[in-house]
Homo-oligomer: A and B are copies of this chain.
Amino acid sequence: MIHTMSLMHDDLPCMDNDALRRGKPTNHRVFGEETAVLAGDALLSFAFEHVALATRGASPENVVRVLGELAKAIGAEGLVAGQVVDICSEGMAEVGLEHLEFIHHHKTAALLEGSVVLGAILGGGDEEEVGKLRKFAKCIGLLFQVVDDILDLTKSSAELGKTAGKDLVADKTTYPKLLGIEKSRELAEELNREAQEQLSQFHPHKAAPLIALANYIAYRDN
């Protein structure tokens, strides 16, 4: 790791602190596409290595199960499926609600689902508890995207801390475009309510951070 990183560092173009303050350039700009792709492969492998090594106190059956869950969340039935369908949808005239949900469920919600479900399994949750937490995660994953679309349309760039109105300029299919802004807000409320319903049978102290996370995603300003 150190050997590889030092080689990569030698190739780092001269960058001053001002450039860094203005926003960091992405990996492929600094190191080139080949190295960026390889860094992605290394980090992807490292996620599995980390789970395999860092879970020594947990039951090995559960560790194998979470490694399978993690792989599925990333692969051809998870994040990658969402990203591929997103790429293939660029410039498509008609993108319906189901198509849009497929993309978000896979691109955004799958890894969120994974991060919640992995903890539930390692923590010894039973099938019903894991199922409820899985549904919670699916809801906040979609909620995140609905709120993102609303913010892009209703906030200024200064408020967002990034360029506002990008979706409109790119003629991107969004929830407000398909449903209108009011129905999008109703959908967000419903997803937040549905997410929090899943937590009702858990101890309130243990559920509190997840409730706070759902509310944060629902009511954030940027």
**Contact surface of A with B, Cβ cutoff 8 Å:** 1, 3-5, 7-8, 10-11, 33-35, 37-42, 44-46, 48-49, 52-53, 55, 59-61, 63-65, 67-68, 70-72, 74-81, 83-85, 87-88, 102
Structural contact, A3 and B48, CB atoms closer than 8 A: no
CB-defined A-B contacts under 8 Å, sample of 28: A1-B76, A1-B81, A3-B81, A4-B84, A8-B88, A10-B88, A38-B83, A38-B84, A41-B41, A41-B44, A42-B76, A44-B45, A45-B72, A45-B75, A45-B80, A46-B75, A48-B67, A48-B70, A49-B75, A52-B64, A52-B65, A52-B71, A53-B68, A55-B64, A60-B60, A60-B63, A60-B64, A63-B64
Structural contact, B76 and A4, CB atoms closer than 8 A: yes
Q: Out of B5, B42, B74, B75, which one reaches A75, CB within 8 Å? A: B42
Closest Cβ of chain B: how far from A44's Cβ, in Å?
A: 6
Copies in the complex: 2
Structural contact, B64 and A49, CB atoms closer than 8 A: no
CA distance A79 to B38 in the complex (A): 9
Structural contact, B67 and A45, CB atoms closer than 8 A: no
Closest Cβ of chain B: how far from A52's Cβ, in Å?
A: 4
A-B complex: 4 closest residue pairs judged by Cβ atoms: A49-B71, A60-B60, A52-B68, A45-B75
Contacts of A33 in B (CB 8 A): 33
CA distance A72 to B75 in the complex (A): 19
CA distance A65 to B51 in the complex (A): 11
Tell me the nearest residue of chain B to A66, going by C-beta: B52
Structural contact, B35 and A87, CB atoms closer than 8 A: yes
* A81-B3, A85-B3, A85-B4 given; A74·B61 CB < 8 A: no
Structural contact, B75 and A7, CB atoms closer than 8 A: no
Structural contact, A81 and B4, CB atoms closer than 8 A: yes
* A4-B76, A64-B64 given; A71·B85 CB < 8 A: no
Contacts of A4 in B (CB 8 A): 76, 80-81, 84-85
